[in-house]
Amino acid sequence: MQKQFDDNIPIYLQLIEKIKRLIVSGVLKPQDQMKSVREYALEYGVNPNTVQRALSELEREGYVKSERTSGRFISMNQEDIDRLKETMAQEETEKYLDQMSQLGFDQNESVKHVSSYQKGNVTNE
C-alpha cells in the first residue's frame, strides 16, 4: 500500500492540500457538497478530529462553507479557484526551481529539462 502522508508534516495540513488539489483539478466544483468528516476519515485512514481540523481551516480560509443541516460545500467561485490554481502552480514551480538549483542547475537549464521531459526525451543531453 502506498504511504499517503509525510511524517514530517502535520496530517491536517496535508489533508488541506489534498482537498485544495481536488478543488483546483475540478474533482470538487463550486457548490459541490463535500463528504462528511467520517467519510474523509475512513478514506484517508485518519482520526475524525484531524479531518475536522482540516475542514475547519478550509472554512476559515473561505474555501468551504458549512450549512448547519446540509453539510459542507465548496464556497469558491470559478474565478477564486483559478486564482488558487495559479498560486499553487507558482508554489510548485518555486519548489522545483529550488530543488534544481540545489542540484546545480540554473533556471534556464531547469526549464530545458521540463521541455525535454514533455517532448519525451528524458535522457541527459
For residue 61, give the CATH number of its domain. Answer: 1.10.10.10
Domain ranges, residue 30: 11-76
Residue 125 has pLDDT above 60, yes or no: no
| Residue-wise pLDDT tens digits, 26-71 | 999 999 999 999 999 999 999 999 999 999 999 999 999 999 889 9
Residue 1 has a pLDDT of 37
- Are both 25 and 56 inside the same structural domain? yes
- Give the chain's mean pLDDT: 91
Residue 118 has a pLDDT of 86
User: Which residues lie below 8 Å from residue 62, measured CB to CB, with a gap of 6+?
Assistant: 75, 76, 80
- Are both 59 and 84 inside the same structural domain? no
pLDDT band at 3 (very low <50, low <70, confident <90, very high): low
Residue 87 has a pLDDT of 96
Residue with cell 483559478: 82
Residue 117 has pLDDT above 90, yes or no: no
Average pLDDT estimate for 90-106: 94
Q: How many domains does the chain divide into?
A: 2
